[in-house]
Chains A and B, each alone.
Chain A
Amino acid sequence: MIGRSNYKNRIELLQGTLDMLILRTLQWGPSHGYGIVQALRTQSGEVLQLETGSLYPALHRLERQGWVESEWKQTESKQRARFYSLTRAGREQLASDLSRWQQMVEVIGSIMHGEPGGEEA
């Protein structure tokens, strides 16, 4: 009971960002779950240790939203794996996520780096 609700909380905290990261990774081409984890890890210079436990629920959620689709294919090492790829809706979602994220970075950045506001006259 306790473990489960913890998991849920963590997923919820990450949710928006995690979805965006997954969609971004899939922009370079279809990939399976393990591939996504590895891609995020190398891209972030080993900093981002993705919680694998939250990846699969996220993937299934994205599929249900219609942002990704999946099919079973052979990997280079001749293993059967489920490959996820972006759909048209997924691409649109990624674009809007990206612009929102950039906006947020700017806003937070300006608060964190900026001078105390211009309210004193």
Chain B
Amino acid sequence: MNWISRIFERRKDELEEEIQTHIRMDVLARMERGETRAEAEAAARHEFGNVALVRDVTHDHWRWNRLERLGQNLRYAVRVLRRSPGFSITVVLTLAVGVGATCAMFTVVDRVLLQTLPYPHANRLVQILELGKRGAVQYGSPYLDIEQWQKRGHAFSQIAFYQTAGKRISFLEGKNGDSHVLSTEIGGSLFPVLGVHPVLGRDFQQDPASGGVKADDAHSLMLSDDAWRTDYGADPGIVGKVVHLRGEAFTVIGVMPRSFVFPVERSLPMVWTPIVLGAKDATRERNVSPTYQTIARLQPQATLKQADAELKAIQPDIARAYTDSYDREDVSSIEVKSYSESLTDSKVQKALLALFGASGLLWLIACLNVTSLMLARATSRRREIAVRGALGASRWQIVQQLLIEGLLLSGCGSLLGLGLAVGILKIFEHALTMQFSIHETLTPDITVLAGLLVLTIVSSLLVCVWPAIGAARAEIEPALRQGSLQGTGQTKHRTRAVLVITEIALSLTLLVGCGLLLRTIYALKHVPLGFRTDHILVANMTIPSYKFTGTNMTTGFYQPLVDRVKQLPGVQSASLMTEVPLGKTYGMIFTLGVEGKSAADVRKRDLKAQFRAVGPEMQKVFGFHMVRGRFFNEQDTATSQAIVIVNRAFVKAYFGDDRDPGKMIGEHLLSLDSKRDTTVQGILDDERQVNVADPSKPEIEVCISQLAPDSDFYKFAEGVEMDLAVRTDLSPSVMVPELRKVMRAASPDLADSNFTTMDQVVEDSFGDQALAAKLLEIFAGSALLLCIAGIYGLLAYLVAQRTREMGLRIALGAQRSNVMWLVLRQAGWMLVAGLSAGLGLAYVATQGLKTFLYEVKSNDPWTMAAVTLMLLIGGLAASWLPARRAASVDPMKALRTE
């Protein structure tokens, strides 16, 4: 503020000098005409008129004047707030809590839901999904279907297709050895549909008839800016050079712009390889025809609805073209979805919005609390304001002054809140990024800061407009009269009581929500998982399987690696598994492909199971429990009888639960290859594979050591990803470097494998609930504190206001317990009113939580009762102090001081 006032001082000085010069000149002129100096000076001054007034009127013309007044008001506000530090600190902290929570949640919502896709006119991009009897087809659609949409759909300007499944993480041979990249196969129209083109080189040559890529470009490769920089040092001559991806040679044709990503994931540098349509694309056969995901751009005048209706009309015709009646049922209908919406699933959306709502509720509680404080303060400042009014300040000026105070307070509150938000995000970073698959760092950005600014202004307006207007409207005269604190005070107390009641009701709602989620977490933590989680280290490996072509990875790579790990000191057992239970890195679902038309055959084909290839030591690591039969052992090799192990859920789904699981043993289930039929050798007890809250799913396991390269399962199981699980008593910090060393020796590409513990995997799989519960704990805890502070504040204030009355009562013979009862009664009715309103509100609000709850109902009476009791006790405790103070009033003193 200093430089502003300096500018003012200078201008004021200049005006002063100008006026003095004027007068001096006049005096000189008059003296020349023969007047004496005294006469001349008097006359000049007289003629000039009122110097001070000229100065004042001139100041008014200065543009800066308003700013100066603002500066004065601001300085005054700082002074006023510094005079009552208790009040200021309470308000700033309260607002910081409200703004901080909201800001943190807003950052997450912004990252996950509001982030616009980095393509031009991204809102016109849609995804086309086939669906049928068994839900949406996850793996995509064959080219023939896409071709039909292209030919017959008029709502789209172009449809592009791509393929992400399979070998997503690839190895790109760069300057400094191999690096991991995300590779996506794309059709020739993908970049045109997205509306993004390479900054270096050229696009893939599109085959205009099909939308695929021309055969000349079959070995072309497009680099992302990231991959170009990290692997090739931003070499400008990269176009035309040959690079190796998974050991295959590709010619680089271009580099995409810096910010470009597709699909929207940023965890690794990206490359794109072409989809050249082949003979297999001329069929619609499961497990033969390749399938693709689609992304299309709507015509400028077409809407999503039109596009959806159009394709829905075409789709039955397409479904008829399927020769297999079973497959036909899967594609009988279609859905056109906005592409951006298809990226976040609805459960995550709901979870986020619920948390955002909770943080908003906390913000509202904070605002209510501060408003209540401001009201109390406005009442006690009535004299001061009245004096200012009497001295000529207009109502607008008084409101302005109070608004500035409010802005100052909420400004400080917001700054502190911003710090708090950064802290909350830091603490929850791991959980947030896990749950919402965010790949950027979570710090509030420009959007969030703008949001914060709006919040600041809104909260300061919310918080002080009402008390300010009330204060400015108050009659001046009664306020100036001595000791006139009654009168309008009564309605204000009532208003404050209403605020506190609302606060109690909202806090109860938050607390009930939190209580329900805590019970859910408790229930989840006690779900029998079906395996042990303690002392297990897990490494997620990405296997460079292309380096092992022509060899047997089972014997040449996996077996030696596990053997070496087992020899490490401190390792009790170790084994490989395509994916550990509850892991989220690479899930494989197995669909039984049985031929035949009998009812049993059809039922068999309906059977989907989790598929895992495991090593024989897995049972030792995880302590799986066998219901019947045996687990794999060292005798199960590529030459012995091929066996599989299924779990209890598999038996139940496959044979119905009445059947004795033991009877499954010896059944022929599938064939590892053309020669080897498998028999079921063991029934595993149920375990949770995907999500703790989900019931066990049918599962089928094969043994890694039985998979030879000629087996169909070999390429699915061994070539992609593999988890190494190690049981050890040593701490991860000791064990991990040792493991890394062994893995690097096995293959340099494994050196940067990702390590975690099984406990962490389980923790992460509690998912939305655990995160929501932790955040709600914070929100609800803050709400409880604010609420108790609100009750205390109001009662303390009332007692202070009524000291004289209390003194009089006691002087007239009232028992001290009566006086105490008076205050407690006041607290009692506020609590009863707030709690009953809150119970109603919570009953409605918690319906939204239903999807997150596990083994507890949304209107669980125990939670409601416990939370109500807690608030009641907290509220009564908060009113105890003021009540005791009221009862200990000394009548003599009370009457004298007033």
Binding site for B on A (CB under 8 A): 3-4, 7-8, 11, 32-34, 37-38, 51-53, 56-57, 60-61, 64, 75, 77, 79-82
Query: Smallest Cβ distance from A79 to chain B, in angstroms?
Result: 6
State whether B57 touches A7 (Cβ < 8 A): yes
Instruction: Give the contacting residue for A56; candidates B25, B54, B63; CB below 8 A.
Output: B54
> A34 near B22 (CB under 8 angstroms)?
yes
B residues in contact with A52, CB < 8 Å: 22, 47-49, 54
Q: Is the CB of A79 within 8 A of B24?
A: yes
Bound-complex Cα distance A34 to B26 (A) = 7
Main secondary structure of the interface of A (DSSP, over half): helix
Task: Decide: B54 and A53 in contact? CB cutoff 8 A.
Answer: yes
Flag if B21 contacts A82 (CB, 8 Å).
yes
Count chain A CB atoms within 10 A of each CB in B25, B62, B63 and give the residue with the most: B25
Q: What is the bound-complex CA distance between A7 and B17, given in angstroms? A: 22
Report whether B18 and A81 are in contact in the complex, using a CB–CB cutoff of 8 Å: yes
Pick the contact of B25 from A7, A51, A53, A79 — CB < 8 Å? A79
Residues of B within 8 A of A80 (CB): 17, 21
14 extra interface residue pairs, beta carbon distance < 8 Å, beyond A4-B57, A34-B25, A57-B54: A3-B50, A4-B56, A32-B18, A32-B25, A34-B22, A34-B26, A52-B49, A53-B50, A56-B15, A57-B61, A60-B58, A79-B25, A81-B25, A82-B17
Q: Which of B26, B53, B54, B57 has the most CB of A within 10 A?
A: B57
Q: Are A82 and B61 interface neighbours, CB within 8 A?
A: no
Judge whether A7 and B21 touch: CB under 8 Å: no
Chain B 27-41 interface mask (CB, 8 Å, partner A; 1/0): 011000000000000
Beta-carbon nearest neighbor of B26 in chain A: A34
**B453 part of interface (Cβ distance < 8 Å):** no
* Complex Cα gap A79–B18 (Å): 11
A56 B49 Cβ-Cβ under 8 A: no
Tell whether A57 pairs with B48 under 8 Å between CB atoms, given A33-B18, A79-B21, A81-B21: no
A75 closest partner in B (C-beta): B25
Partner of B61, one of A3, A33, A60: A60
Residues of A contacting B24 in the complex (Cβ-Cβ under 8 angstroms): 79
In the complex, the answer to whether A56 meets B19 with C-beta atoms within 8 Å is yes
Q: Tell me the nearest residue of chain A to B19, going by C-beta.
A: A56
Q: Which residues of chain B are near A4, meaning CB under 8 Å?
A: 53, 56-57
User: What is the CA–CA distance of A56 and B14 in the complex, to the nearest angstrom?
Assistant: 12
User: Within the complex, what minimum Cβ distance (angstroms) separates B33 from chain A?
Assistant: 12
A-B contact pairs, 24 of them (CB 8 A): A4-B53, A7-B53, A8-B57, A11-B57, A32-B21, A33-B21, A34-B22, A34-B25, A52-B47, A52-B54, A53-B53, A53-B54, A53-B57, A56-B15, A56-B58, A57-B54, A57-B57, A57-B58, A57-B60, A60-B62, A77-B28, A80-B21, A81-B18, A82-B18
User: In chain B, what residue has the closest Cβ to A33?
Assistant: B22
The CA of A5 and the CA of B708, in the complex, are separated in Å by 103
Overall SS of chain B's interface:
helix
Residues of chain B within 8 A of A64, CB atoms compared: 61-63
List of B residues within 8 angstroms of A61 by Cβ? 61
List the count of A-B residue pairs having beta carbons below 8 Å apart.
66
Task: List the 4 shortest-distance A-B pairs measured between CB atoms, nearest first.
Answer: A53-B49, A34-B25, A57-B57, A60-B61
Q: Is the CB of A34 within 8 A of B53?
A: no
User: Which residue of chain A is the closest to B15 with respect to CB atoms?
Assistant: A56
Give residues in B with beta carbon < 8 Å to A: 14-15, 17-19, 21-22, 24-26, 28-29, 47-50, 53-54, 56-58, 60-63
Which residues does chain A contribute within 8 Å of B53, judged by CB atoms? 3-4, 7, 53
Instruction: Give Cα distance in the complex from A81 to B14, angstroms.
Output: 10
How far apart are the CA atoms of A4 and B48 in the complex, in Å?
A: 15
Closest B residue to A4 by beta carbon equals: B53
Quick one: closest A residue to B63, CB to CB?
A64
CB of A53 within 8 A of CB of B48, answer yes
- Whole-angstrom distance from the CB of B887 to the nearest CB of chain A? 53
A52 to B129, CA, bound (A): 84
Q: How far is the CA of A24 from the CA of B63 in the complex (A)?
A: 25
- Could you tell me if A51 and B58 are in contact, using CB atoms closer than 8 angstroms? no
Q: How far is the CA of A81 from the CA of B18 in the complex (A)?
A: 7
Chain B residue nearest to A6 in the complex (CB): B53
Please tell me if the beta carbons of B49 and A51 are within 8 angstroms of each other in the complex: yes
In the bound complex, how far is the Cα of B54 from the Cα of A3, in angstroms? Answer: 11
- Given the complex of chains A and B, what is the CA–CA distance between A68 and B505 in angstroms? 64
Nearest Cβ on chain A to B27's Cβ, whole angstroms: 10
**C-alpha spacing A81/B25, complex, angstroms:** 10
Q: Which residues of B contact A37 (CB under 8 A)?
A: 22
CB distance from B63 to the nearest CB of A (A): 6
B14 with A82: CB separation less than 8 A: yes
A60 CB to closest chain B CB (Å) equals 5
In the assembled complex, which residues on chain A have CB atoms less than 8 Å from the CB atom of B14?
82
Report B-chain residues with C-beta under 8 Å of the C-beta of A34.
21-22, 25-26
Residues on A with C-beta less than 8 A from B47 are 52
B48 proximity list for chain A (CB < 8 A): 52-53
* Chain B, Cβ-Cβ closest to A36: B22
Chain A contacts for B62, CB-based, 8 A: 60, 64
Smallest Cβ distance from B10 to chain A, in angstroms? 12
Residues of B within 8 A of A3 (CB): 50, 53
When C-beta atoms are compared, the residue in chain B nearest to A11 turns out to be B57
**Which residues of chain A are near B56, meaning CB under 8 Å?**
4
- B47, closest chain A residue (CB): A52
Chain A CB within 10 A, most for which of B14, B28, B47:
B47
Instruction: Kindly list chain B residues whose C-beta atoms are within 8 Å of the C-beta of A38.
Output: 29
Which B residues are in CB contact (< 8 Å) with A53? 48-50, 53-54, 57
Q: Hey, which chain B residues are within 8 Å of A81, CB to CB? A: 18, 21, 25
In the bound complex, how far is the Cα of B14 from the Cα of A32, in angstroms? 13
CB proximity of B711 to chain A, nearest CB, Å = 88
User: Which one of A34, A75, A80 has the highest number of Cβ atoms from chain B below 10 Å of its Cβ?
Assistant: A34
B60 contact set on A, CB distance < 8 A:
57
Minimum C-beta distance from A59 to chain B (A): 8
Which residue of the partner chain, among A11, A51, A56, A75, contacts B18 with CB atoms under 8 Å? A56
| Complex Cα spacing A95 to B61, Å | 24
Bound complex: CA of A56 vs CA of B18, how far in Å? Answer: 9
Instruction: For the complex formed, measure the closest distance between the CB of A109 and the CB atoms of chain B, giving whole angstroms.
Output: 33
Q: How far is the CA of A34 from the CA of B18 in the complex (A)?
A: 9
A16 shortest CB reach to chain B, Å:
16
Measured CA separation A82–B54 after assembly (Å): 16
* Contact residues in B for A8 (Cβ distance below 8 Å): 57
By beta carbon, the residue of chain A nearest B56 is: A4
CB distance from B599 to the nearest CB of A (A): 93
* Closest CB in chain B relative to A41 CB, distance in Å: 11
A30 to chain B, nearest CB (A): 14
CB distance from B266 to the nearest CB of A (A): 52
Q: Which residues of the other chain, B, contact A56 by a CB distance below 8 angstroms?
A: 15, 18-19, 54, 58
Complex CA–CA separation, A61 to B29 (angstroms): 27
Residue of B nearest to A35 (CB): B25
